[in-house]
Amino acid sequence: MSRIIAIAWNTFREAVRDKILYNLLIFCLLLIGSTVFLQELAIGFPERVMMDMGLAFISVFGTLIAIFIGVGLVYKEIDRRTIYTIVSKPIPRYRFLLGKFLGLQLTLLVNLVLMTVLLLTAIYLAVDETPWHIILAVAFLLLEFMVLTSIAMMFSTFTSPTLSALFTLSFWVVGHLVGDMRHFVLQAKEATVIKTFAVLTRSLPDLDRFNLKSWASYGGPVDHSVIIYTIILGLLYSAFFLGVAALIFQRRDFK
Amino acid sequence: MDGTAVSQTVLEVKNLTKVFRVGFWGKKIWAVRDLDIDVRRNEIFGFLGPNGAGKTTTIKAILGLIYPTRGKIRLFGKPHSDVKIRSRIGFLPENPYFYDYLSAGEFMHFYGQLVNLPRSEKYEKSKELLKLVGLEDAAGIQLRKFSKGMLQRLGLAQALLGDPELIILDEPMSGLDPIGRKEIRDLILRMKENGKTVFFSTHILPDVEMICDRVGIIHSGRLSAVGTLSEILGSSLEGVEVTVSGITDEKAIDSVISRIVRQGDILHIALDDPNNLDGLLRKVLDQGGKIIEVFGHRRSLEDYFLEAVGEEHDDSEVEQ
């Protein structure tokens, strides 16, 4: 376990020493800060505008980190041959993958905490209220980013970063349409269409399950079972994609 | 093989074959063919071959970085696929590239964790090894500012973390200046003194001649020779050069001579057959001459290497 933690910590260290991440983070923090001015445009409920915009920025920024750092996590190690001295140490390959994955989760967590703190502060300064409930929406976003990272890592074990990013983005787009596809199945009449979409909705990760942004704007109770179900779903999706990544990675030759 | 021999064998490679498939049509490239090597405890084994001979492929197969197409590899008597066995091995890759955002100290601590060094030992050992390779003052410098020689030495330091018994070095001297090469040679010799076994690949012949106990020569993926230098090159003389003076008539001694050059009173005589030396010396003395120097020529590793590589090159041209 200590070796997985060492790899995770090193992955985190690599990310926080990367200037690109800082640039993205500063840009996103500025955008979140700018919601203070955007709320002036709202007709009533200015905090809703701020929450909507703020969560949207966090979502976009987190997705960018998860995909663009995720696709490079393994590929860069192979391309730069740093993997040679790691894999030749007494560490099973799947533990290396797990360490890299956890390192990126830590990076995402720290960034999301920073952005959420700023968003809450901005809302407090604007309307003198702190909508603590948005933390749940951010936590759900973190689950979505976990799934996206695992998908990105899976692709990066066998293809280039550009293709991996493209495939992961496709998963992200389609994953957010799974809910709509389900409605489509209910309304479709043709058997083959129903079957095709039924297969698709069952086999693709339903990423809209992690979307609590609308709920965050309006508030209201969330059932505990929904929270537990979503956490389990996030863990299962990630475990599946990481499992496939580990299988491919285990069989790879590092030429 | 008796029990002692088994325990003395640290690395055993049998019939190792690796085929890569390249290009759209999956064309087969035979990187290594039916390779057999055994490396014994506390020896320095030089794995010699020209660029592209299959040295790195063999090393990667030993370390589990690539999967052999055929053949068996055993480390300390166990299959090389056993991950735990790697705690007894240190490895320096060719042209090492490490995480350049880390300082040398951070790098060593990280790798110390990877070989499961206890926290207290990790810092002490890192410091000790950085000192051993002459980088104690560079502990706080980021690796992106390191020169090639410094990276190579740092690579050696990380290979020694965890006190491994077998150290595998892929081209450790390549790209280094003569001082850097000597430093690495000295370090390898010190590893042997400390009871380690060293297996290193190189295409630099003098390095092998200077420090190796045994040598394996690989070319085009095949092992062409393995053994001690004297086993490979033979201990017999290939020719003799004799320098004499006081001989006025060369014809009196020329019956066994291959070549002769006169410089004033001095004669430089070359004998292709060393068996003729006794007869020549007797004749020189009978003629009242004086023997100044006798110098025997042995076959060098370079001669052998060029012959072996040259022959196989000719063969492969014929095959094509």
Average pLDDT of A179-187? 79
Interface of A with B (CB under 8 A): 2-3, 5-7, 10, 13-14, 17-18, 80-92, 251, 253-255
DSSP-assigned letter for residue B255: G
pLDDT of B316 above 50: no
User: Does any domain span residue A198?
Assistant: no
pLDDT at B23 (0 to 100): 83
Helix axes A19-38, A93-127, angle to 10 degrees: 30
Residue B319: band (very low, low, confident or very high) from pLDDT cuts 50, 70, 90: very low
Residue B56, both tokens = 């790195």
Length of chain B, in residues: 320
| Cβ pair A82:B83 closer than 8 A | no
Average confidence score pLDDT of chain B: 85
Q: Is residue A38 part of a domain?
A: yes
- Nearest 5°: the CA angle B53, B57, B63 is 145
How many domains does one find in chain A?
1
Q: Is B22 on the interface with A (CB under 8 A)?
A: no
Share of chain B above pLDDT 70, in %: 92
Check residue B2 and give its pLDDT: 44
Distance in angstroms (rounded) separating the CA atoms of residues A216 and A52: 8
Position B130 scores a pLDDT of 92
Say yes or no for a CB contact (<8 Å) between A90 and B87.
yes
Read off the pLDDT of each residue in B22-41 and give the average, rounded to a whole number.
Answer: 89
Q: Is B295 left (phi over 0), alpha (psi -120 to 50) or beta?
A: beta
The span from the CA of A236 to the CA of B282, in Å, is: 92
B54-112: per-residue pLDDT in tens?
999 999 999 999 999 999 999 998 999 898 999 999 999 988 888 889 999 999 999 99
Chain B residues whose beta carbon lies within 8 Å of the beta carbon of residue A13? 101-102, 106
The pLDDT-based confidence of B318 (bands split at 50, 70, 90) is: very low
Share of chain A above pLDDT 70, in %: 96
Return the higher-pLDDT residue of A212 and A109. A109
Tell me the per-residue pLDDT of A42-53, one tens digit each, with 9 for 90 and over.
666 777 788 888
Task: Check residue B53 and give its pLDDT.
Answer: 85
Task: Report helix, strand or coil for B17.
Answer: strand
pLDDT at residue B117 in the model: 87
pLDDT of residue B320: 32
Q: How far is CA A20 from the centre of its chain?
A: 18
pLDDT tens, position by position, B211-252: 899 999 888 888 888 888 878 877 667 788 889 988 887 777
Looking at the DSSP bridge assignments, the partners of residue A157 are: none
CB contact under 8 A, B113 and A255: no
Nearest CA in chain A to B158: A85
Residue A248 confidence (pLDDT) above 80: yes
pLDDT at residue B313, as a whole number: 55
Over the range B220-254, which residues count as b (16 or more CB within 10 Å of their CB) and which as e?
bbbbbbbeebeebbeeebebbebbbeebeeeeebe
Confirm whether A188 is domain-assigned.
no
B5 has pLDDT over 70 = no
In tens, the pLDDT along B151-160 reads 888 999 999 9
pLDDT tens for A50-74 read: 888 888 888 988 898 899 889 988 8
Instruction: List CB contacts (< 8 A) between B89 and chain A.
Output: 88
Would A53 be classed as within a structural domain?
yes
Terminal-to-terminal C-alpha distance of chain B: 40
| Pairwise CA distance, residues B220 & B58, whole Å | 12
- pLDDT reported for residue B314: 53
pLDDT in tens, B147-194: 888 888 899 999 999 899 999 999 988 777 888 888 889 989 999 999
Average pLDDT, chain A: 86
Residue A10 lies in a domain: yes
Residue A190 lies in a domain: no
For A139, the domain range is 2-176+211-251
Shortest CB distance from A255 goes to which of B66, B97, B101?
B66
Nearest Cα to B129, choosing from A195, B121, A117? B121
- Evaluate whether A254 touches B19 at the Cβ level (below 8 Å): no
Note whether residue A186 is domain-resident: no
The partner residues of B239 in beta bridges, in order of sequence, read: B297
Give the integer Cα–Cα distance in Å for A150 and A158: 14
Say yes or no: B157 contacts chain A, CB-CB below 8 A. Answer: no
B225 part of contact set with chain A, CB < 8 Å: no
Contacts of B14 (CB under 8 A, 6+ apart): B36, B71, B72, B73, B74
Q: Are the C-beta atoms of residues B184 and B152 closer than 8 Å to each other?
A: yes
Contact B63 A14 (CB under 8 A): no
Contact A3 B113 (CB under 8 A): yes
**What is the CB neighbour count within 10 angstroms for residue A127?**
16
Q: What are the chain A neighbours of B110 within 8 Å (beta carbons)?
A: 6, 10
Would the CA dihedral through A136, A138, A144, A145 be positive or negative? negative
CA angle A161, A162, A168 (to 5 degrees): 85
For residue B273, the model assigns a pLDDT of 82
Domain for residue A189, yes or no? no
For A15, nearest residue in chain B (alpha carbons): B101
ipTM > 0.90 for the complex: no
* Average pLDDT of span A181-185: 79
Best B113, B115, B120 residue to mutate vs chain A (most A CBs within 10 Å): B113
Which of A85, A86, A98, A107 to substitute to test the interface with B, most B CBs within 10 Å? Answer: A85
Test A14 with B83 for CB contact under 8 angstroms: no
Chain A residues within 8 A of B23 when measuring between CB atoms: none
